[in-house]
Amino acid sequence: MQQNFLPDTATPADILRAGLAAARGPVSLACSFSPEDVVIIDIAHGAGLDLGVFAIDTGRLNEETYEVSEALAERYRLKIDWYFPNHTDVEGLEREKGLFSFRESLENRHECCRIRKVEPLSRALSGLAGWVTGMRRTQGVTRNGLSAIDRDEVNGGILKINPLLEWTEEQVLDYAKEHRLPMNRLFTQGYRSIGCAPCTRAVKPGEDARAGRWWWENAEQKECGLHRR
């Protein structure tokens, strides 16, 4: 979809503007408080764009993630809409299968992600004309075929906007450093993609950014269901 109205030289701010204009309705950033998400918030703020922000609290986030959330809320006077999993579903899962069933099989991991992430996401996206993510093409093999702006057919055909798609990790970090943006303290400890605490580890030298997510699985399986295609 991006080739219809975006030049190759489009900046993240250009992509955001084009996406918001094309959506013709409310658009929000799905924020996990990664460096990418923090950069997008700063770009949108600097450009005066009307971009909402929502976050999903799975119940298993790191303390450091909450610290970034509070820092952003204070710095930008930002209202963050939090969504939580259905408590009955979480209770049922943990009573039936325990606290670490997601490590036993891919099916179990998808079940946990569906309860803790995908179902809350569906509520967060309800009523939106589009949503923004911090996904980048170089993060892993599951993200090679993305477009800067696309239709999210899985979520009702709303727009999905990826303004940092062509940025490298170095560009993200350089921007964050230049603008003195809040950063998750785990990132300085080698965590390059941060999700739920039990499912995230620091990456090893030479590994890609998402190698620390569900490290017991194959690379082509490393999505939680939020970005189904």
- Annotated catalytic residues are 224
What secondary structure does DSSP assign to 151-184, as a single string? EEGGGTTEEEE-TTTT--HHHHHHHHHHTT----
Residue 212 has φ and ψ, to the nearest 5°, of: -85, 0
Instruction: Report the candidate in 10, 37, 28 with the shortest Cα–Cα distance to residue 175.
Output: 37
- The helix or strand, by DSSP H or E, that contains position 39, with its residue range, turns out to be helix 35-47
Structure tokens at 155: 């979520």
Tell how many helices (H) and how many strands (E) occur in the chain.
7, 6
